[in-house]
Chains A and B, each alone.
Chain A
Amino acid sequence: MNGVYRKWGRSVRRDGARVVRVDEAGEAHESASEFRTRPIDERIDLAAPNADAVEAAAREIESILLPPLIIERLLVSEANVAHECNGVRWNETLRRVHVAIARPPIRALVDLAEFRFDVVQRVAAALVRVGGEREAPRRMRLAENAGAALLPLLPIGKSQTAAPHDGRGLPISAQKVEGDDPPNSFRPSYRLRPRRAWFHLRAAPFGRIEEDAPQAIALLAPVGERTIRVLCVDGNRVYPVALAVGRVIAARASESWYPYGAGAFGTELMF
């Protein structure tokens, strides 16, 4: 694939206590054998991101995460981005939240693509009550934010959701995920060679989610190949669990989009 891709971005992020504003533009030249990138001087009109909203979101999260909880890492950002590839130019506004919440010896990870606080509130309330590690219960469900992280790796029915542009400016069509050769390209940065990926994954609903089953509400470590470590709420008890990723007996999609891979919609799962 030959071509030139250009990207312009203005972002503001709260990185711990610091506020980092970045204004940059660059291009990537790609041929069958080589991939080259460099910054570009050309500037375009791009609105400044909403620094007040970023700061307010960061403060809201900090107000939720009080001792004995420790904010190990907090990233809250907004970016206005323009892309150009194959004669197509498109814009987007991205919001991201990453929080690592520690209650030693465990840490819960929360990743969001919007400034909402319900997941952080719920995880914080559970972490305050967390006990020692237990065996995984026989039946267990995953909350949509935890299931979204797992969805790209699960061999269950799922589909790609339509969107106007992939990393080469091509339309993303709605289709069932089948085989190992996704039709679209994902390009998280102009400095990275684009790779084939399924976009905006959505689980095909099946089975019945048992609403009274213990629920994993957050990841305690990045998703592994065969097991995940999660924070489980089981009635009045809260405990960490290592869950073997086994047979999924039910799945249900939500409308919230999460920044895992090239995007995944919230997915409640029943194991």
Chain B
Amino acid sequence: MGRRYTMVRHDELWVRGVLAESRVNFGEAVERGREIAARNRIEDRALHARLQRQCEEAVQRIRRSIAAMRDARVRYVVTATDEDFESTIAITLDGVSVVSTPETVAVDYALLKALLPPATRHSPPANSPLLWRNGSAAVLLHEAIGHATEHGHAPLAWPSWLRVRDAARAGRIANLIAGEPPAASRRESFRDAPLPRMTKLVVEQVHAPFDLPDGRIEIELVAGGAYEPLTEMVTINVAVSSAGPFTIRASRRAISRSLIGASGNPIRYPGVICSREGQELYVGSYAPLILTTELA
């Protein structure tokens, strides 16, 4: 008997208050050695019914919570597995997105509305320190530290006040800053091979310095990021900042040298959908206010 993974998923796309797309999906995969046999049938009928009920109840709750968002594009994905349950809601307004959960969707929608409209695209601002607000530094360090550990890249010397961990199910923790790989293997669907992937990235600071410099750029929301494993370069597309949208490209070594301060407790960043090897996964992301030098 191999290891079994069972999944039921329901996702919907609502555009300006009107249902545009609805998908139900279910199936299971049995893993034996290096072979995975997957099919869209679940042998255990009681388990199937339970997971389906979990999904449908969540769908009803989410529909109620997004009913008022008639100016947005809203896509939610509800996934129940034999091990876990996850709901994510992506809200897009004027081309800028946040990714939320049923518990936080009202707050995140209000945040998104308050931060828009973004200014026109800028060149990367020169010589301005960056203040990463709203937990957005979690995206920077997701790329520069988290993905580097997934690729087995050697740890770097980060500031002694910085802590970065991945918190997976059942209390499993990986100390990413020490180079430990993510604590769990995850997959997007029963059709996919599980990979070591981050679950919840938590950045913390212990007695970090924090002197707010003049002339800083304040980053509010990030549109996306990438880590190039062959060159160890990080790309961050800033969506909303005091200088408008811009793109940062820097080596992870340069990023490790750029951290100059932090303040407060970790703040939940509204959303990271991480894509690797064609599999998109939600990664919870938390970081305190973080200051970096300019990053070209």
State the A residues within 8 Å of B (CB).
15-26, 33-39, 41, 72-73, 102, 104-107, 191, 193
Which of A26, A33, A102 contacts B40 (CB under 8 A)?
A: A26
Q: Does B231 reach chain A (CB closer than 8 Å)?
A: yes
B20 CB within 8 Å of chain A = yes
Asked if residues B23 and A37 are in contact (CB atoms below 8 Å), the reply is: yes
Answer yes or no: B39 CB below 8 A from chain A CBs: yes
Given pairs A23-B37, A39-B26, 8 additional interface contacts (CB within 8 A): A22-B38, A24-B191, A25-B40, A33-B19, A36-B22, A37-B25, A38-B24, A107-B230
Residues of A within 8 A of B260 (CB): none
Instruction: Establish whether residues A18 and B21, one from each chain, have CB atoms under 8 Å apart when the complex forms.
Output: no
CA A34 to CA B6, docked complex, whole Å: 28
Assuming the A-B contacts A33-B18, A105-B231, are A22 and B191 also in contact, with contact meaning beta carbons closer than 8 angstroms in the complex? yes
Residues of chain A contacted by B18 (CB below 8 angstroms): 33
Q: Give, as a whole number of angstroms, the nearest-CB distance from B274 to chain A.
A: 17
Q: Considering the chains assembled together, what is the distance between the CA atoms of A242 and B101 in angstroms?
A: 42
Assembly CA distance A217 to B109 (angstroms): 48
Contact with A along B182-222 (1 / 0, CB 8 A): 00000000011100000000000000000000000000000
Say how far B13's CB is from chain A's closest CB, in angstroms. Answer: 9
B27 contacts which chain A residues (CB < 8 A)?
24, 39
* Set of chain B residues within 8 Å of A102, measured between Cβ atoms: 230
- B83 contacts chain A at the CB level, 8 A cutoff: no
Distance in angstroms from A190 CB to nearest chain B CB is: 10
Question: A18 near B22 (CB under 8 angstroms)?
Answer: no
What residue in chain A is nearest B31 (Cβ atoms)?
A: A18
Show 30 residue pairs from A and B whose CB-CB distance is below 8 angstroms, ordered by the A residue.
A18-B34, A18-B35, A18-B193, A19-B34, A20-B36, A20-B192, A20-B193, A21-B38, A22-B191, A23-B38, A23-B40, A24-B27, A24-B40, A25-B40, A33-B19, A33-B20, A34-B19, A34-B20, A35-B21, A37-B23, A37-B24, A38-B24, A39-B26, A39-B41, A41-B41, A72-B230, A102-B230, A105-B231, A107-B230, A191-B23
B24 touches A15 (CB 8 A): no
A104: chain B residues within 8 A (beta carbon): 230-231
B277 within 8 A of A: yes
Residues of B within 8 A of A26 (CB): 25, 40
- Size range of the chain B interface in the assembly: 20 to 34
Question: For the complex, what is the distance from the CA of A191 to the CA of B27, rounded to whole Å?
Answer: 14
B79 → A minimal CB distance (Å)? 14
Chain B proximity of A28: nearest CB distance (Å): 9
The reply to whether B34 and A193 contact each other, CB–CB distance below 8 Å, is no
- Given contact pairs A33-B18, A35-B21, A193-B21, A105 touches B39 in the complex (Cβ within 8 A): no
Measured in the bound complex, the distance between the Cα atoms of B32 and A18 in whole Å is: 10
Known A-B contacts A20-B193, A73-B277; the reply to A34 vs B22 at CB < 8 A is yes
User: What CA separation (Å) do A26 and B9 show in the bound complex?
Assistant: 14
> Closest 5 A-B residue pairs measured CB to CB?
A24-B40, A39-B40, A38-B24, A23-B39, A20-B36
CB of A105 within 8 A of CB of B40, answer no
- In the complex, A168→B55 CA distance in Å? 31
A105–B229 alpha-carbon span in the complex (Å): 9
Across the interface, do B38 and A191 meet the contact criterion of CB distance under 8 Å? Answer: no
Chain A residues whose CB sits within 8 angstroms of the CB of B231 once the complex forms: 104-105
Given A104-B230, A104-B231: A15 in contact with B193 (beta carbons within 8 A)? yes
Residues of chain B within 8 A (CB-CB) of A107 are: 230
Residues from chain A with Cβ under 8 Å of B35 in the complex = 18-21
Q: Which residue from chain B places its CB closest to the CB of A25 in the assembled complex? A: B40
B41 neighbours in A (Cβ, 8 Å):
39, 41
Q: Tell me, rounded to whole Å, the shortest Cβ–Cβ distance linking B73 to chain A.
A: 15
Do B277 and A21 touch across chains, with their CB atoms under 8 A apart? no
Give A17 to B25 CA distance when docked, in angstroms.
26
A23–B231 CA distance with the chains assembled, in angstroms:
38
Contacts of A18 on B, CB cut-off 8 Å?
34-36, 193
A17 CA / B23 CA spacing, docked (Å): 31
Output the nearest chain B residue to A39 by Cβ-Cβ distance.
B40
Per-residue CB contact flags for chain B residues 105-130 toward chain A (1 = under 8 Å, else 0) read 00000000000000000000000000
CB-CB nearest in chain B for A11 = B191
Alpha-carbon distance A37/B24, docked complex (angstroms):
6
**A23–B34 Cα gap in the complex (Å)?**
17
